[in-house]
A and B are shown apart, each in its own frame.
Chain A
Amino acid sequence: MSTREPEIIAFLCNWCSYAGADLAGSLRFSYPPNVWIIRVPCSGRVEPVFIFKALLLGADGVLVGGCHPGDCHYGTGNMYARRRYNLVRQVLEVAGIPPERVRFEFISASEGRKFADVVTEFTEQLRNMGPSGLKVKAS
């Protein structure tokens, strides 16, 4: 039985999801401290390679947060991000890495509750899945 807590890297878009996470804090919703947030200008900035790299550096899960469809500050970045996320899932699936370790969520700036819920649920899910074991020494 491993006591190691799951570690989540979250790429959050500056305009919606990051503000959503901020709101979760302002409203004092509690969520597990297992998430490391990296702010990106847009979810469209998140290349599949970032996600793979996070997993290989030892993250148990990767969360990508973007604006809801139609709400992207730049118009369409989140639509491309979603397509890439679907590519990442298939690549992981074929390699035998559970695609559930990567999650893409639409979280708006007003959805502090949703952010807290997503992180809680994701942490719980990763805890059940156990450590990813993907960490490589040099990457």
Chain B
Amino acid sequence: MTKPVFYTAEQGGKVVGGGVIQALARTLLEEKLIDGIFAFVEGFDERDLRPAFITNPGDVASISLAPYMPFSLARIAHDYGPSARFGLISRPCDIRACTELGKRNMFDLSTLYMIAIGCEGTRDAEGQLRDSCTRCEYRTAASADLNCFVGKGKTAIQALTEKGAKLLALAKLTELAVSDDPLARLEGLEAEAAARQADAFAFLNDPPEERFLVWSGQHAKCFKCYGCRDVCPICYCRDCSLKADRGLVAGGVVPPSPLFHLARMAHMADSCVNCGQCQDACPADIPIARYFQAVQKRLQGIFGYVPGVDTVVRPPLTQFGEAEMQFEDTILGAEVGS
């Protein structure tokens, strides 16, 4: 990996990050490398971020990089279809989700421009660090084309792909001679987050009976608003098996059968990027993302697959290792990981 280099796109340092992200967006649109860009723009105030699909180079100034994450932009990009040619300027979890979708044939990743904003954690409307962000170990996105680290009047950029490097050259940014390492701080945060997971997942050491009581108690609060399903960037089926007419989860029953949650888990846990949107959307305050990340962590231990960190390795349930053909045990361990 190359070391990030600092750039600016304006004089005076008034714009956040020196307007580098905006300049990259403008270049993408002006060079017609894409049809449009998914990014957040400011609404009423700094905390009110709204998703936008920007197609006019004149509109790029409205792109906001404030540390809020009210939606997953990758989720919104679903509707754009597999022939999409778009740019995505978002947080690493969103970029990873987009990568996972690419692997599941929702997008053609080779046509996308994914620009990740190095993330120190995002906040909810009250200004509190979001629950998922406290446990996030991926403050940069290794699958992005460009990793950007926004600072005061300057932005450090790490080009991870050829496509990204070309875009960076086209943008004609002013290189700055700054030797800070923006990665060091993020790596520190990642280590802290990893340490916090021990607390967050301490419930896994409880006896199973107790765990089941807590789990079923949490899910008994569910009134099946489908919020968690609708905001999940990984969840993309047009004809959802959880709909009442599919015969799995009966309609008009509240709380729904636990099958609702178990099915979601079985469908998404292998690709879950811990974006935490499901938990934020939940009006019943079920710690969905925590359960998802707990399962995801365990799957990582078995299959050695980390969602969204590369664009090559297929999700663990859609492939298997050659060695497994010779392996007669039914319980897989790390030795047969992908």
Cα distance, A90 to B241, chains bound together (Å): 21
Closest A residue to B333 using CB positions: A86
B262 to chain A, nearest CB (A): 4
Contact B257 A95 (CB under 8 A): no
Cα distance, A135 to B215, chains bound together (Å): 15
A contact residues, total (Cβ < 8 Å): 36
Report which of B248, B262, B294, B332 forms a contact with A86, defined as CB distance below 8 A.
B332
Contact B262 A90 (CB under 8 A): no
B307 to chain A, nearest CB (A): 13
Residues of B within 8 A of A76 (CB): 320
B258 interface residue (CB < 8 Å to A)? yes
Contact A93 B248 (CB under 8 A): no
Contact B257 A138 (CB under 8 A): yes
B253 interface residue (CB < 8 Å to A)? yes
Contact A79 B299 (CB under 8 A): no
Contact A91 B265 (CB under 8 A): yes
Which of A79, A86, A103, A138 is packed against the most chain B CB atoms within 10 Å?
A86
Cα distance, A94 to B219, chains bound together (Å): 13
Contact B298 A94 (CB under 8 A): yes
Contact A69 B325 (CB under 8 A): yes
Contact B262 A89 (CB under 8 A): no
Contact A104 B330 (CB under 8 A): yes
Cα distance, A87 to B265, chains bound together (Å): 9
Given contacts A87-B317, A95-B212, contact A47 B331 (CB under 8 A): no
Given contacts A96-B213, A96-B214, A105-B330, contact A52 B320 (CB under 8 A): no
Q: Mark A114-132, 1 if CB is under 8 A from B, else 0.
A: 0000000000000000000
B269 interface residue (CB < 8 Å to A)? yes
Given contacts A83-B303, A90-B302, contact A49 B258 (CB under 8 A): no
Contact B214 A48 (CB under 8 A): no
B259 interface residue (CB < 8 Å to A)? yes
Contact A83 B332 (CB under 8 A): yes
B303 to chain A, nearest CB (A): 7
B258 to chain A, nearest CB (A): 6
Residues of chain B having any CB pair with chain A under 8 Å: 204, 206, 208-216, 241, 248-250, 253, 257-259, 262-263, 265-266, 269-270, 291, 294-295, 298-299, 302-303, 316-318, 320, 324-328, 330-332
A-B contact pairs, 15 of them (CB 8 A): A48-B263, A49-B241, A49-B262, A49-B266, A53-B259, A69-B325, A69-B326, A82-B320, A83-B332, A86-B302, A87-B270, A91-B269, A94-B298, A96-B209, A136-B257
Residues of chain A having any CB pair with chain B under 8 Å: 47-49, 52-53, 56, 68-70, 76, 79-80, 82-91, 93-98, 103-106, 134, 136, 138-139
